A and B are shown apart, each in its own frame.
Chain A
Amino acid sequence: MFRNQYDTDVTTWSPAGRLFQVEYAMEAVKQGAAAVGLRSTSHVVLATVNKAASDLSSHQRKVFKIDDHIGVAIAGLTADGRVLSRYLRNECINHSFVYESPLPVSRLVVRLADKAQVCTQRSWKRPYGVGLLVAGLDETGAHLYYNCPSGNYFEYQAFAIGSRSQAAKTFMERRFEAFNGYSRDELIKDALFAIKETLQGEKLTSSICTVAVVGIGEPFHMLDQKIIQEVIDSIEIKEDDAAAATAAADQAPMQEEDKSSEAAPMDI
């Protein structure tokens, strides 16, 4: 995307019918650290990569609890994410106060999307530079939504946002059809697998990722580092076993070839 004369203002259309400022805001989301979400019929899992700016600093918070039944993971300008989380929390509290029941997820994402849309149509505002994966449970079941800075929102079975998210999306595209039947633990495992894909070779440890779950009978909460590390270890043991199996399989045909070459001269 190159600079052009139609991208100064969010209230300026380009001749091709594009609002460049909004598209630039979506670029900001693509630059953020990865976040993935997966959904089954009873649970939703969010996982994010938490890079610390340096060894001295603490990790950036990217997963926020909004209410007992809803949580969000963000990618992009985390400050914008924090502000939007505060807005979402207020909306949930106000709805609970008036109606004595939890705010349905679909209504929450609509309000968030409308709020984002306002920022695309005022000359004195800028679009929010953060994408949100909203995970929640309500009467109609488990839901995972993605809210764009453009004001659009979509429901997903599984999605990934942020840098190198395409690797996670490719991984999940191969497996998403089975997600509805997954158990809670299988969902967490696949979420960590997806995060691993975005790391492209870097070592996955529980200190650089955050995992959160919401499900039937389980309010939204972040998983303990120890539990995450156990799941990561079990993933790695499986991979090591698989690697060892393929290595052994490679060696076996080589041995057979030696034998057959020995046999060949004798045949002659």
Chain B
Amino acid sequence: MEGADYCVIAADTRLSVGYSIYTRDYSKICKLADKCVMASSGFQGDLKALQKNLAAKHLIYQHQHNKQMSCPAMAQLLSNTLYYKRFFPYYTFNILGGLDSDEKGCVFTYDAVGSYERVGYSAHGTGAGLIIPVLDNQLKSPSPLLLPAKDAVTPLSEMEAVDLVKDVFASATERDIYTGDKVEILVINASGIRQELMELRKD
């Protein structure tokens, strides 16, 4: 979710197939640029390939422009990269988070073929159905249909936002079999990226 000057992005660390767990310690989050982080649910093999693809493209950008890519620029790049494989898609549901050029938090949410939107908060994966209603309730995001357009930035402070994320993952773990083990929380703000690991129920 995005705040006035921070962005929080979180993913659990369980890798599972069917009713089995492959590993309890798998990171689904990838740092693409100084102030831009991507997390995805879905097929992790495609996620690895997508991350490598974006990292290579980012390196080329840095060579050409002598600076890091901004989060909105990376958002467009990710969308184009996903649509490039429209007829054999990356099976990933991505969320891009970071700070935009004005140092404000930004969150972009994607589907598997690159349709994207800047939002105040988002969730993907098996636990999304349990998480999004809670976020809707807590963050009171204005409807995108309202005119004049209202800012989706949450009024929560950084500490409150991180606590909300922890609560929300703990709740999802209770009912969703695929969510659990640990949650990796990344907070991106002006001073950099901070990582936190929180234990979840292991069943």
User: Hey, which bits of chain A sit against chain B, CB under 8 A?
Assistant: 65, 86, 89-90, 93-94, 96-97
Contacts and interface: CB of A to CB of B under 8 A. Distances in A.
Nearest to B57: A93
Contacts of A89: 59-60, 63
A94 B53 CA distance: 10
Interface of B: 52-53, 56, 59-60, 63
A90 B63 CA distance: 10
A105 to B, nearest CB: 18
Contacts of A96: 56
A65 B52 CA distance: 21
B63 A97 contact: no
Contacts of A94: 56
14 contacts: A65-B63, A86-B63, A89-B59, A89-B60, A89-B63, A90-B60, A93-B56, A93-B59, A93-B60, A94-B56, A96-B56, A97-B52, A97-B53, A97-B56
Contacts of B56: 93-94, 96-97
For the residues of A in contact with B, the DSSP-based class is helix
B77 to A, nearest CB: 15
Across chains A and B, which 4 residue pairs bring their CB atoms closest together, nearest first?
A: A93-B56, A97-B56, A89-B63, A93-B59
B64 to A, nearest CB: 9
Nearest to B59: A93
B21 to A, nearest CB: 26
* Residue among B52, B53, B59, B60 with max Cβ neighbours from chain A (10 Å): B59
A72 to B, nearest CB: 13
Nearest to A90: B60
B80 to A, nearest CB: 18
A90 B53 CA distance: 13
A70 to B, nearest CB: 13
A97 B53 CA distance: 8
B15 to A, nearest CB: 20
Nearest to B53: A97
A17 B21 CA distance: 70
Contacts of B52: 97
Contacts of A93: 56, 59-60
Nearest to A67: B59
Nearest to B60: A93
A4 B4 CA distance: 73
Contacts of A65: 63
A121 B60 CA distance: 31
B110 to A, nearest CB: 22
Nearest to A100: B52
Contacts of B63: 65, 86, 89
Contacts of B53: 97
A65 B63 CA distance: 8
A32 B64 CA distance: 24
A89 B59 CA distance: 9
B129 to A, nearest CB: 36
Contacts of A90: 60
* Residue among B52, B60, B63 with max Cβ neighbours from chain A (10 Å): B63
